[in-house]
């Protein structure tokens, strides 16, 4: 054999060894690679109350099943703080929703984004997880990926929890391919989203709707098979606790979790109660207050001039039982569009969904949206089971009329209760095997079939494509 041929054979064998080594390294799970550092570093960001809850439960699940210590950094609220996160800054600083609503906060938004990107890069995470809040989250992931590419360094794996509502907007699916450039994996909370994301080149896993973990947390120890996706609070205890007369009519109000939406919706709710107070005997309102200090302060001031007696109930997972007790004590609920519509279906409490925004944001939604509904139960069932008062139709007079109709019509109430069974079946987490290890210190132990456990298992077993 010639010298040149021998060199070719050696080069070929060497390339095979390198290829095998590369394949072996790339096929290792994320946890295998992180174990070399003796810990898994997770940079996690949530920008609103619902995201804080999701993030905290994911953190608890990661700590439960990870065989190596986990260190967190990022942005979150009180719930994520309870799981060991020291937030870079108050989560409320980035809790802005809408297009034109963002403009007054744009400078601060950019400052916080830059600060977060820098902090993430310095933390050297193995994993970055963003939870909902797509305006901030996607900018963060895009800029962080560009930063690593510029430095030609191996970057962390990017996960986004709660897929963007591409199905709601014209041209929404086309944007998924753009996301795949800086999002490695998406956790979907609706059953149809996983297949659509995958078909557009974006890796995805359906984990079920996170709010169903309320059921699991309040009913620990029950098996999935015997489990009914329903929460029945103790209304009698709630009425006794707050000395509510037996003949009083109780309405639960959920004005939102962001200050901008609460300041817009609470005055409408107040004027609605003013119109209803003479129509129902001893009308009492229960106002659920999101765990947001700015919202808390605003509502506390607003109830000083409230037209009917008001009971303030704190939000957050640490007050789950009290909240669902309040739901059970109520005849109906009036809420701002959001996750609360699903919470009310869990409680089987009939409700009216409302929404107002900046007039330019409302115009944009009317032009770009391709679905006629705003509440998730209606969207899933493609039917107006839950009445909605949106945009210009969201006036105290209209809301009072719809609410009075719902409160006086047992058939309408029963339709929502029956529909809730179908909605819960669509949103429940899939049956997937989750590998458990020795649990670390957590405030609560998430069941293996929960959304957060499925997401945590997916993260730890992730293999780079």
pLDDT digits (tens, 9 = 90+) for 48-65: 889 999 999 999 999 999
Indicate left, alpha or beta for 319 from its phi (over 0: left) and psi (-120 to 50: alpha). alpha
Q: From CA 407, how far away is CA 251, in angstroms rounded?
A: 10
Q: Using the predicted structure, report yes or no on whether residue 95 has a pLDDT greater than 80.
A: no
pTM of the model: 0.86
The pLDDT assigned to 46 comes to: 96
Q: Using the predicted structure, report yes or no on whether residue 5 has a pLDDT greater than 50.
A: no
Task: Give the tokens for residue 244.
Answer: 């509510």
Greater model confidence, 273 or 49: 273
Q: From CA 122, how far away is CA 282, in angstroms rounded?
A: 58
Task: Give the tokens for residue 1.
Answer: 């054999």
406, 332 contact by CB (below 8 A) = yes
Distance of CA 105 to the CA centre of its chain: 22
348, 398 contact by CB (below 8 A) = no
Q: Which of 22-26, 272-276, 442-446 has the highest mean pLDDT?
A: 272-276
Mean pLDDT along residues 147-174: 89
Residue 15's pLDDT band (boundaries 50, 70, 90)? Answer: very low
Q: Are strands 204-206 and 249-254 parallel, antiparallel or unpaired?
A: unpaired
Give burial (CB, 10 Å; 0-12/13-18/19+) of 282. Answer: middle
Task: Give the tokens for residue 46.
Answer: 């949530």
Mean pLDDT along residues 35-59: 93
Mean pLDDT along residues 220-249: 82
The pLDDT assigned to 12 comes to: 33
Q: From CA 452, how far away is CA 131, in angstroms rounded?
A: 12
Considering only CA atoms, which of 337, 170, 328 is closest in space to residue 262? 337
Nearby residues of 87 by Cβ (< 8 Å), 6 or more positions away: 74, 75, 76, 77, 80, 81
Considering only CA atoms, which of 133, 391, 91 is closest in space to residue 264? 391
Rg of the chain in Å (alpha carbons): 24
pLDDT tens-digit series, residues 328-384: 999 999 999 999 999 999 999 999 999 998 888 888 888 888 889 999 999 999 999
The torsion angle over the Cα atoms of residues 254, 258, 261 and 262, rounded to 10 degrees, is: 50
The torsion angle over the Cα atoms of residues 360, 361, 363 and 368, rounded to 10 degrees, is: 140
125, 156 contact by CB (below 8 A) = yes
Q: Concatenated DSSP letters for 108-133?
A: HHHHHHHHHHHHHHHH--SEEEEES-
Greater model confidence, 238 or 227: 238
pLDDT more than 90, % of the chain = 66
Mean pLDDT along residues 385-402: 97
């Amino acid at each position: 054999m010639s010298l040149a041929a021998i060199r070719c054979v050696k080069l070929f064998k060497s390339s095979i060894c390198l290829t095998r080594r590369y394949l072996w390294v790339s096929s290792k799970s994320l946890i295998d690679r992180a174990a070399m550092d003796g810990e898994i570093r997770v940079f996690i960001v949530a920008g609103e109350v619902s995201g804080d809850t999701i993030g905290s439960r994911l953190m608890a699940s990661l700590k439960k099943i990870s065989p190596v210590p986990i260190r967190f950094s990022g942005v979150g609220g009180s719930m994520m703080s309870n799981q060991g996160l020291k937030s870079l800054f108050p989560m409320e600083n980035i809790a802005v929703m809408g297009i034109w609503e963002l403009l007054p906060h744009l400078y601060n938004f950019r400052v916080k984004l830059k600060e977060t990107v820098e902090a993430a890069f310095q933390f050297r995470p193995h994993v970055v997880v963003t939870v909902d809040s797509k305006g901030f989250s996607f900018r963060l992931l895009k800029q962080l990926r560009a930063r690593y590419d510029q430095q030609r360094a191996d970057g962390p794996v990017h996960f986004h929890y709660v897929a963007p509502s591409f199905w709601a907007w014209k041209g929404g699916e086309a944007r998924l391919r753009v996301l795949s450039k800086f999002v490695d994996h998406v956790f979907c909370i609706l059953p149809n989203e996983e297949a659509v994301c995958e078909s557009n080149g974006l890796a995805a896993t359906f984990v079920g709707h996170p709010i169903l973990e309320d059921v699991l947390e309040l009913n620990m120890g029950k098996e999935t098979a015997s489990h009914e996706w329903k929460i029945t609070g103790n209304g009698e205890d709630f009425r006794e606790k707050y000395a509510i007369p037996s003949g009083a009519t109780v309405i639960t109000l959920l004005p939102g979790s962001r200050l901008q939406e609460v300041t817009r919706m609470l005055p409408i709710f107040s004027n609605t109660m003013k119109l209803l107070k003479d129509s129902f005997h001893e009308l009492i309102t229960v106002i659920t207050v999101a765990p947001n200090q700015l919202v808390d302060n605003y509502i506390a001031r607003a109830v000083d001039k409230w037209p009917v007696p008001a009971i303030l109930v704190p939000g957050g997972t640490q007050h789950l039982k009290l909240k669902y007790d309040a739901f059970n004590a109520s005849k109906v609920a009036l809420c701002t569009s959001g996750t609360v519509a699903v919470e009310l279906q869990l409680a089987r409490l009939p409700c009216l969904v409302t929404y107002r925004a900046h007039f330019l944001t409302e115009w944009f939604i009317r032009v770009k949206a391709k679905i006629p509904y705003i509440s998730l139960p209606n969207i899933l069932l493609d039917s107006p089971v839950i009445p909605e008062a949106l945009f210009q139709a969201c006036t105290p007079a209209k809301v009072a009329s719809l609410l009075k109709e719902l409160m006086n019509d047992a058939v309408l109430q029963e339709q929502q209760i029956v529909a809730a069974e179908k909605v819960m079946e669509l949103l429940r987490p899939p049956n997937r095997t989750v590998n458990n290890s020795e649990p670390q210190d957590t405030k609560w132990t998430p069941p293996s079939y929960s959304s957060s456990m499925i997401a945590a298992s997916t993260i730890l077993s992730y293999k780079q494509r």
